[in-house]
Chains A and B, each alone.
Chain A
Amino acid sequence: QQQVKQSPQSLIVQKGGISIINCAYENTAFDYFPWYQQFPGKGPALLIAIRPDVSEKKEGRFTISFNKSAKQFSLHIMDSQPGDSATYFCAASRVKTSYDKVIFGPGTSLSVIP
């Protein structure tokens, strides 16, 4: 119930293409869904996040699509660039409770080739 599933495990995309990473959860108590980006040798950093009361959130080339009924959400990276090559983690949290532990998905390694 606490698990967040993520796919694919790795992804190779041509420069300029669209990168899509999918996540799914089971616990309907989750009410916040952030995505973290990690470059080699660095700790993860928050990229973009969404609440379940909206179906889409866009920040620049990054868009989260959220399907509450299916309990799925995805990250789309438009016009992917080599600088986007990193590991991406989706996550889920319950912010409306005092127990707001963040649950991370297993991660997706993205390589954008020129």
Chain B
Amino acid sequence: GAGVSQSPSNKVTEKGKDVELRCDPISGHTALYWYRQSLGQGLEFLIYFQGNSAPDKSGLPSDRFSAERTGGSVSTLTIQRTQQEDSAVYLCASSRTSGGVYNEQFFGPGTRLTVL
């Protein structure tokens, strides 16, 4: 079946512009995560959606970052007034709800964002 997809795969923008990154999770997966990965660095947690619960936004680095998940499926990460330090690969992952067992996170290929 189809995996997690993300679009665009690459995005080049000018400093100060807004960008929207899209994630299509695997059908039926209730959990959705956004991570940021700078070159050669680890996975920086941004936000976690689990079913109908309020999202865990504790990783969002500033109020320029926001995310929503419509209908429990597609998610959009929005970065307003982009800065050069926002340049990174943005990864999305989804998984089934736990239900008492670990459910593997499936990652998308990422969106490489470059802010000039």
Q: Mark B21-61, 1 if CB is under 8 A from A, else 0.
A: 00000000001010000001111010010100100100000
Contact of A100 among B4, B45, B50 (CB under 8 A): B50
What's the interface size class on B, roughly? Answer: 20 to 34
In the complex, the answer to whether B104 meets A34 with C-beta atoms within 8 Å is yes
CB neighbours (8 Å) of B110 from chain A are 43
* B99-116 residues at the A interface, CB under 8 angstroms: 100-105, 107-110
Interface contacts (Cβ under 8 Å), in number, total: 60
In the complex, the answer to whether B102 meets A34 with C-beta atoms within 8 Å is yes
Contact of B56 among A43, A93, A101, A106 (CB under 8 A): A101
Task: Compute how far the CA of A107 lies from the CA of B42 in the bound complex, rounded to whole angstroms.
Answer: 6
What's the interface size class on A, roughly? Answer: 20 to 34
In the complex, the answer to whether A43 meets B98 with C-beta atoms within 8 Å is no
Contact of A45 among B41, B42, B48, B107 (CB under 8 A): B107
Let me know if A104 is at the binding interface, CB within 8 A.
yes
Q: Mark B73-95, 1 if CB is under 8 A from A, else 0.
A: 00000000000000000010100
In the complex, the answer to whether A98 meets B98 with C-beta atoms within 8 Å is yes
Task: Compute how far the CA of A102 lies from the CA of B102 in the bound complex, rounded to whole angstroms.
Answer: 10
CB neighbours (8 Å) of B104 from chain A are 34, 46
CB neighbours (8 Å) of A97 from chain B are 98
Q: Mark A71-97, 1 if CB is under 8 A from B, else 0.
A: 000000000000000000100010111
CB neighbours (8 Å) of B4 from chain A are 43
Contact of B100 among A34, A95, A106 (CB under 8 A): A95
CB neighbours (8 Å) of B56 from chain A are 101
Contact of B101 among A36, A43, A95 (CB under 8 A): A95
Measured CB to CB, the nearest residue on chain B to A33 is B102
CB neighbours (8 Å) of A42 from chain B are 109
CB neighbours (8 Å) of B50 from chain A are 98-101
B29 to chain A, nearest CB (A): 12
A-B contacts, 8 of them at CB < 8 A, read A42-B109, A44-B107, A96-B100, A100-B98, A101-B50, A105-B42, A106-B41, A106-B42
Q: Which residues of B contact A (CB under 8 A)?
A: 4, 31, 33, 40-43, 45, 48, 50, 53, 56, 91, 93, 97-98, 100-105, 107-110
